[in-house]
Amino acid sequence: MTTATRHPVELRYATASDVESATDASRVLLALEGSRGTVGVRGRVRDSALFRDALAATFGILSSDLRYRGKDRTAYLAYLMKQGKRASALIWEAQKAFLDNALEGEEKQDAVLDPVLTVDPDSVSLEVFSRDESAYARLSFDNALFEGREAAHGSTFLDVPADLPARIDRLRTYVPMSLEAHVALPARPSQQAREPRNVDVPHAWLRGFLQVQSAATLPASTCRLAPIDLYNLLFALRSRKAKKAPRALRFELVPGAPPRLVLEPWELVLEAHGGTYTGSAPAVVRTFGRQRLAALARLLPHAHSVRVQLLGPGLPVFWVIDMGAATLTLGLTGWTESGWSSAAAFDALMPRAVPDGLAEKLRSRLRAEGPLSFDTLVAGAGAPKESVRAALQLECLRGRVLFDLARGEYRPRELMATPVDEAVIRYGSEREARAHRLLGDGGPGAGEVKLTKVHEVIGEGLRIHGEVVDREAVRSFFPSFMLDVEGRLREANCGCPHHRRSGVREGPCEHLLALRLAYSRRRAEEEALRQTPEGRKLIRAETRSYVRRDAESGQETVYRVSLDGQLVSVEWGPRTGEARHQRLWFDSDAEARGAYFSRLEKLAAEGYIDAASALV
């Protein structure tokens, strides 16, 4: 792993983006970065309101930042000094110096890439990544939105001054409006020549931006909503505030029935009206970060339909808003800023084995033929579907291919002048790299990670214990932690020096990360094995949850069935009410296992949904 943590990029803008507004016409002038060749688009906008609101919503996502920020107590300390309280000048100066250093580092951390504008033969798109690295958006305008469209195809960066979103928001839609995005915009007399700007892009930012693209290529459960469903959801979130966990947005998907959206912890059920779920199997999927959906409120007057792509727990969720001549794809990451959950999520997003030359072959075909679907690419690749998907996933991580989720097509898009080295963004930190070394993912000093106990605590989460053999430290550690119902870290313990010194204030140690990764991998393996008779024979301890909602009363019944050696435990009842319990002992593990799977099959036949995907 390279020791560099930033990717240097030089941005050259001839002028700044601007908005010209007069009584009879308006022009949106977007300045593009000039080192990538001639790229641009111009034309008159047919639907001014759609164009303005879509741009305003996208720039709102770009500037959003939901990270917690501590209060600046400098002014308060100065007040105490004037009052003669116990706040000396030395304390004030030390506090001020600390805040200055923190803000300076924060500004450097926020020095990330500008939005990416791509001009294709059939559309023009804008990609943004929020400041807290939790939301990705791609806004696409079809050619039908522009009259007299002139374009030069390619990808480059877009200059977004601080006042540009506010000026776009004030555009009047009753006058003719035009767009002009070009490298060499006509200079205005009031503007001075701009010097090149050097940006050191953190690898963590590139990792987050590109892994969302990688996640978009994965198979997902898809449900459709009507615009009124999105309105009801946003209204419910705006009129309520959850003061305790869990705070998830739960999707209940039953084939042939309309999707249901359930807001926790109130268990508020919102029936969808966008059509029935067409998936092959029922599923319950819990998603987090629902407050970020408020960015879509601006688009409600223009929305024709809403599509939600659910990948699974811990992975991004994609909302596709179809507005006719424009489409917004919003990807909400399922991990937190601390990187605890992202370590396991990104491990699942990394492509496995990619045949030599396949990725380059697919990219060359995309550049020659334009946007292509996955099936079309597989037909001419001469390789299995799994290999083609892994190769496309790799190209997305390198920033050379974009997956258009709205149309289900892959497009060529060069994020950088040179491809991003996926090895550079493979690990989020040195501790994460050491965690993979402990798992035996290459490198000297490989260790061994064992899961010694996985205990589900009803209503609280999962308590996981393990043993990590660290051959480099010539000793074993016994980390343990608890994952709450929202996937957050609780009650972490480890005997290593890093954890003894700072706990998890500086992030989890490599032994906790290795144990978390080992649990995620084992769970994925068990899900694959339990589908086969041979795999079921290996299961000695497991807990599954099944749910069913009554169509008339709306009450949800939850069954939790557990297998532990020769014991089968059953707990059932309403989700928010008192539950009943049953414990069954058997003479052998095989008899208990048979009774356990028979009970699960009976519940499935009675219409209960396996809610394992909704658990942590």
What does the DSSP assignment read for 181-235? EESSPPPPTTPPPPPPEEEEEEHHHHHHHHHHHHHHTS--EEEEE-HHHHHHHHH
Do the beta carbons of residue 157 and residue 32 sit within 8 Å?
yes
- From the CA atom positions of the chain, what is the Rg in Å? 27
Which bin fits 522, alpha (ψ -120 to 50), beta or left (φ > 0)?
A: alpha
Q: Quick one: how far is CA 314 from the chain centroid? A: 8
- In single-letter form, the type of residue at position 97 comes to A
Please say if the pLDDT value at position 231 is more than 90: yes
What CATH architecture applies to the domain 217-349? Roll (3.10)
Lowest-pLDDT choice from 172-176, 178-182, 445-449, 608-612: 445-449
Mapped onto helix, strand or coil, the DSSP state of residue 400 is: coil
- Between β-strands 26-31 and 177-182, what pairing exists: parallel, antiparallel or unpaired? parallel
Widest CA span in the chain: 90
The domains spanning 217-349 and 540-614 adopt the same CATH topology: no
* Tokens describing residue 505: 């204030």
Cα–Cα distance between 219 and 269 in angstroms, integer?
26
More confident residue, 197 or 224: 224
Q: How far apart are CA 92 and CA 78, in angstroms?
A: 7
CB atoms within 10 A of CB 461: 24
The fold of the 6-66+112-209 domain, in CATH, is DNA Polymerase III; Chain A, domain 2 (3.10.150)
Cα distances from 155 to residues 181, 210, 404, in angstroms, run 12, 16, 15
Total length of the chain: 616
Q: What confidence tens digit (pLDDT) does each residue in 467-484 have?
A: 999 888 888 999 999 887
For the four alpha carbons of 153, 154, 155 and 160, in that order, the dihedral sign comes to: negative
Question: Cis link prior to 258 (omega < 30° from 0)?
Answer: no
Domain boundaries, the chain: 6-66+112-209, 217-349, 430-529, 540-614
Query: What single-letter amino acid sits at 104?
Result: E
Distance, in Å, from the CA atom of 616 to the CA atom of 608, rounded to the nearest integer, reads: 19
pLDDT tens-digit map of 264-285: 889 899 999 999 999 888 888 8
Report cis status (omega within 30 of 0) of the bond before 259: no
Distance separating alpha carbons of residues 177 and 54, to the nearest angstrom: 14
Contacts of 375 (CB under 8 A, 6+ apart): none
> What would the pLDDT profile of 546-567 be if each residue is shown by its tens digit?
999 887 777 889 999 999 889 9
Q: Which of 171, 129, 169, 178 has its CA nearest to residue 150?
A: 178
By three-state DSSP, how is residue 522 classified?
Answer: helix
| Confidence band for 70, pLDDT divided at 50, 70 and 90 | low
pLDDT of residue 423: 79
Reduced to 3 states, what is the DSSP secondary structure of residue 289?
coil
The pLDDT score that the predictor gives to residue 46 is 96
- Average pLDDT for residues 454-478, to the nearest whole number? 85
Helices (H) and strands (E) in the chain, counts: 15, 32
- The reported pLDDT for the residue numbered 88 is 58
- DSSP code, position 292: G
Match 């990808």 to its residue by tokens: 155
User: What CA–CA distance (Å, rounded) separates 600 from 605?
Assistant: 9
Q: What is the pLDDT of residues 1-58, one digit of tens each?
A: 344 577 888 888 988 899 998 889 999 999 999 888 889 999 999 999 999 999 999 9
Of 117, 159, 155, give the one whose Cα is nearest residue 17: 159
Look up the CATH superfamily of 540-614: WGR domain (2.20.140.10)
Residue 314 has pLDDT above 60, yes or no: yes
pLDDT tens readout for residues 506-543: 778 899 989 988 888 888 787 777 778 888 888 888 88
Specify the higher pLDDT residue, 324 or 98: 324
Please state, in angstroms and rounded to a whole number, the distance separating the CA atoms of residues 308 and 296.
13
Is the pLDDT at 595 greater than 80? The verdict is: yes
pLDDT over 60 (residue 110)? no
Predicted pLDDT of residue 370: 85
pLDDT tens figures, 347-384: 666 776 788 889 899 999 999 998 999 999 999 888 88
